[in-house]
């Protein structure tokens, strides 16, 4: 069993955990490892009804859980399937089933089986897109979704090690045919990633080290951003001097604006980079526009961000503008 996994998961002993299990090699191995070390877990499995073997996989997950003496909760996605964006819709449905269950049952964390190869592929996909720091830092080990903590304990465990464990133990798992479809960018990267090591000497370990280093920088920026956001948000409303935003370095400026919009608008994700860049351009002058379910307004040297549909007056009910000392200019 991988020592990196053991060291990390040790911090979750005594907690009530759910583990997302699809029936694939990664999640099956995660389930077996967690059961083997005696963690307090329940298996969550979503049958999307999209593949011919979906019910076969569901029955296998149930039987495996019985063998491991692990409780198992099955969800069936019976909603009408969209004609486009099916994969994204299925992912949203899967997370909704599981996060709703975790909240309703006081689960401390939901464990996801993303592993080291997924992390490397995500980095290379984002590199190909020309992503900045946040894209290249790839997946976080701990995140939150719909108020539920998501934890990725396998993020630095290679897929080959998971496969070796299951094969040696005779543990069955299913392969998704999409994993070999070269129409998908991730699959093409997976099939050709060995060239980086074979031809250029760039090993998986070096890529993971770069991702970890970028992640530390990202976390430091996030800490700074979150401190700044707390300074100006009050009751889903932010009012601040233009210098509070525009005196920051360009990358900080973009992330600060995106975080403010996300917090106030309530969206799961921040607006895209080009949308934020356009918003910053507009905010150089007096303006009023919407983005991310927020209304943004600049008047003189002051900027206001409120939920879309809310009043956009800079004045309080007493008729005077209200700014914190940290937001006023000297």
Spatial separation of the C-alpha atoms in residues 248 and 257, rounded to whole Å = 11
Spatial separation of the C-alpha atoms in residues 166 and 148, rounded to whole Å = 29
Per-residue burial over 61-76, b = 16 or more CB atoms within 10 Å of its CB, e = otherwise = beebbeeeebebbebe
**Torsion of the alpha carbons at 203, 204, 210 and 214, rounded to the nearest 10:** 160
* Domain span(s) for CATH 3.40.50.620 in the chain: 3-200
* Domain span(s) for CATH 3.30.465 in the chain: 233-327
CATH of the domain spanning 3-200: 3.40.50.620
Q: What are phi and psi of 310, to 5 degrees?
A: -80, 165
Q: Are 46 and 94 in contact (CB under 8 A)?
A: yes
Alpha carbon of 291 to those of 124, 241, 262: distances in Å? Answer: 29, 19, 10
Spatial separation of the C-alpha atoms in residues 71 and 35, rounded to whole Å = 11
The pLDDT assigned to 329 comes to: 42
Per-residue pLDDT of the chain (330 residues; tens, 9 = 90+): 899 999 999 999 999 999 999 999 999 999 999 999 999 999 999 998 878 888 999 999 999 999 999 999 999 998 888 888 888 888 899 999 999 999 999 999 999 999 999 999 999 999 998 888 888 999 999 999 888 999 999 999 999 999 999 999 999 999 877 677 778 888 899 889 899 999 999 999 999 999 999 999 999 999 999 999 999 999 899 999 999 999 999 889 999 999 999 999 998 888 988 899 999 999 999 999 999 999 999 999 999 999 999 998 887 554 455 544 444 444
Return the bridge partners of 295, or none: 290, 306
The pLDDT assigned to 8 comes to: 95
- In this prediction the pTM is 0.82
Q: What are phi and psi of 109, to 5 degrees?
A: -160, 150
- How many other β-carbons are positioned within 10 Å of the β-carbon of residue 246? 13
**Alpha helix (H) residue ranges in 69-184:** 86-104, 116-128, 133-136, 159-169
The pLDDT assigned to 132 comes to: 83
Spatial separation of the C-alpha atoms in residues 219 and 222, rounded to whole Å = 5
Give domain 233-327's CATH architecture.
Answer: 2-Layer Sandwich (3.30)
Q: Running DSSP on this structure, what letter comes out for residue 178? A: G
Residue where the block lists tokens 């799961």:
268
The pLDDT assigned to 317 comes to: 53
């Amino acid at each position: 069993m991988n020592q990196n996994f053991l060291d990390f998961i040790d911090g979750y002993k005594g907690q009530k955990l759910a583990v997302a299990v699809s029936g694939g090699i990664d999640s099956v191995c995660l389930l077996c490892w967690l059961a083997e070390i005696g963690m307090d877990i329940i298996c969550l499995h979503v049958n999307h009804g999209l593949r011919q073997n979906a019910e076969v996989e569901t029955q296998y997950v149930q039987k495996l859980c019985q063998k491991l003496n692990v409780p198992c909760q099955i969800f069936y996605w019976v909603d009408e399937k969209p004609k486009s964006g099916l994969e994204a819709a299925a992912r949203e449905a899967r997370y909704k089933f599981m996060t709703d269950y975790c909240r309703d049952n006081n689960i401390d964390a939901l464990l996801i089986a993303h592993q080291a190869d997924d992390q490397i592929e995500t980095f290379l996909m984002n590199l190909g897109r020309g992503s900045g720091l946040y894209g290249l830092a790839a997946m976080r080990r701990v995140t939150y979704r719909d108020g539920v903590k998501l934890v990725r304990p396998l993020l630095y465990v290679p897929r080959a090690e998971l496969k070796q464990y299951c094969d040696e133990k005779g543990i069955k798992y299913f392969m998704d045919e999409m994993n070999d479809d070269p129409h998908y960018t991730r699959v093409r990267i997976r099939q050709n990633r060995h060239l980086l090591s074979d031809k250029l000497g760039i090993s998986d370990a070096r890529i993971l080290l770069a991702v970890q280093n970028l992640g530390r920088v990202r976390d430091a920026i996030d800490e700074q951003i979150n401190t700044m956001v707390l300074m100006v948000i009050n009751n889903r409303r932010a009012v601040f001097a233009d210098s509070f935003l525009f005196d920051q370095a360009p990358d900080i400026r973009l992330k600060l604006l995106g975080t403010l919009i996300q917090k106030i608008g309530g969206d799961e994700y921040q607006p895209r980079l080009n949308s934020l860049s356009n918003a910053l351009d507009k905010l150089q002058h007096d303006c009023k526009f919407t983005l991310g379910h927020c209304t943004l307004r600049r008047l003189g040297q002051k900027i206001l961000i409120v939920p879309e549909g809310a009043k956009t007056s800079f004045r309080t009910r007493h008729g005077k503008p209200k700014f914190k000392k940290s937001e006023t200019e000297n």
